[in-house]
Chain A
């Protein structure tokens, strides 16, 4: 038996490449008919246009709840509905967060993106341009899930917050560089919750998701604030928002109750306009930052360039060359990439040249991404020196995720007042 196997092995190997039938199908004397294999069709839950429509309606409802109904309870109820639909029923893909990559790849390579993916990408951003981050409030299942775990949110020190808020920028940049250069979708790979929605995932993914949720008990919405790459775009749009989230329906009495309940530290306190000496000082700071601009830009772009060769390892071409260099003949089985490469019959030089080109593309991309991050850092620093007068407590356009907790806290709101007198 074993001999026969070995013989067959030797005699049939050349045929493997030719793709011919080694054993022709027999003519059955008994009249046996060859069965047809059955392949289950792809059944879509709802057609693409309905996906877009549902997202648009959900955004509209969210706007209505945040601006007209102004009730934390209803926002919470609606977020549960969205969590159930977009999370547990639709099970994630494709979502606006991940669509950033599809749009970038298609825009880079010149089209070919299904229209509904483009619509899913644009709708929440356009809504944010008008009404702020209402997508984050209730529609996004990632946000809705984390919002449920907020128990005792702690205030993040300003300096730490400023540093951590650079992470989403890095994730967005790295995600886009990887996607455009064909190294896969980093943003999707780092989504910690999609495994929970599918109730099936590799263990590390599930554990990460649970760890982020547990962290969210003391650090409200950690993924949204310090990781979400789509949040960068939403923040940018929300900064220009036509209508911000209004904490109070009447005139603010500066009681600071809203700042106490805000889980994401988005309530900006009043400040006086600076005069005289302080103003001069501020102007000097502004000028100093302006002088820093080229330094910061060059530094960040340089750091990006240096990181390029590391990020490039995510690309299969570069990984292959690393395996080629590091793997001996004995443990070739560890990396099936080597076997796949052998079958192509290409030379080692070919693989190395290809990898070198890829690394170069990554270095350029990462340098660009670094310059982008540097630009944002500079703009944020310049923003620190521009202190306009503010007489009341109000929601910061960028940080506010429109969860509506402050509506219940404000004593000037009709519902809060009514509840107070009833109790």
Chain B
């Protein structure tokens, strides 16, 4: 250590060259970092899926690093027709139009159906039960108003650098959005 200490203090050609190399590499790293962030990009961004692009393939449920997935179904009430025969709620071959499990599309019974007035019913999502499989979304989008749709829920999402669902999404519906407005709500988009 003493030996090195003695040498380091001196201005030798070797030392100068080493510092030159070091400074050069440092400048290169800094240049890269500055070039990458030259355009003001704002603050944090988070993942969200565009419900207009979603094709309800079911991968949101299976691809997320979290289990259950951070993607869940949400209900845009202002778009809902309050149908008695809800295509999101009932299976196409439902034996009866009531709340029995065998009639429901949702595999976990996460949609609550409450009577409002004849002939209207209100549907709401019990989020802790929802797995984000998108079966109800498919029914509602194909045959109803499309008021049920999938969204990344930011109380669950861990904001991975690269979202695994985004990489698996066949419709490339995932984008990064500003953290201040972290949802792409269909009722506001359409």
Same assembly: yes
B144 CB to nearest chain A CB (Å):
6
B79 CB to nearest chain A CB (Å):
7
Instruction: Establish whether residues B39 and A19, one from each chain, have CB atoms under 8 Å apart when the complex forms.
Output: no
In the complex with contacts A35-B77, A184-B162, A242-B22, A118-B143 CB distance below 8 A:
no
CA distance A1 to B92 in the complex (A): 8
Residues of B1-47 whose CB lies within 8 A of A: 1-3, 18-19, 21-22, 25-26, 29-30, 32-39, 41-46
A318 CB to nearest chain B CB (Å):
14
Q: Which of A1, A32, A129, A339 contacts B117 (CB 8 A)?
A: A32
Q: Which of A13, A113, A114, A189 contacts B43 (CB 8 A)?
A: A114
Q: Hey, which chain B residues are within 8 Å of A202, CB to CB?
A: 63, 65, 67
Q: Hey, which chain A residues are within 8 Å of B75, CB to CB?
A: 37
CA distance A84 to B39 in the complex (A): 34
Q: Hey, which chain A residues are within 8 Å of B179, CB to CB?
A: 42, 44
CA distance A34 to B117 in the complex (A): 13
B82 interface hit (Cβ, 8 Å): yes
In the complex with contacts A34-B78, A39-B183, A188-B160, A336-B145 CB distance below 8 A:
no
Kindly supply a per-residue 1/0 record for chain A positions 324-350, scoring 1 wherever the CB is within 8 Å of any chain B CB and 0 otherwise: 000000000001111110010000000
Q: Hey, which chain B residues are within 8 Å of A8, CB to CB?
A: 87, 143
- Residue total for B at the interface (Cβ-Cβ under 8 A): 82
Q: Hey, which chain A residues are within 8 Å of B2, CB to CB?
A: 251
Q: Hey, which chain A residues are within 8 Å of B43, CB to CB?
A: 48, 114
Q: Hey, which chain A residues are within 8 Å of B76, CB to CB?
A: 37
Instruction: Establish whether residues B116 and A240, one from each chain, have CB atoms under 8 Å apart when the complex forms.
Output: no
Q: Which of A22, A101, A201, A251 contacts B81 (CB 8 A)?
A: A22
Nearest B residue (CB) for A197: B158
Q: Hey, which chain B residues are within 8 Å of A299, CB to CB?
A: none
In the complex with contacts A13-B142, A111-B41, A189-B162, A248-B25 CB distance below 8 A:
no
A158 CB to nearest chain B CB (Å):
27
Kindly supply a per-residue 1/0 record for chain A positions 231-243, scoring 1 wherever the CB is within 8 Å of any chain B CB and 0 otherwise: 0000011001010
Q: Would you list 18 pairs from A and B whose C-beta atoms are within 8 A, ordered by A residue?
A: A2-B93, A9-B142, A16-B141, A19-B190, A22-B144, A26-B120, A93-B158, A103-B36, A111-B36, A112-B37, A129-B22, A188-B161, A188-B162, A202-B63, A237-B29, A242-B22, A316-B172, A335-B170
Binding site for B on A (CB under 8 A): 1-2, 4-5, 8-9, 12-13, 16, 19, 21-26, 28-30, 32, 34-37, 39-44, 48, 91-95, 98-99, 101-104, 106-107, 110-115, 117-119, 121-122, 125-126, 129-130, 184-185, 188-189, 194-195, 198, 200-202, 205, 236-237, 240, 242, 246, 248-251, 316, 335-340, 343
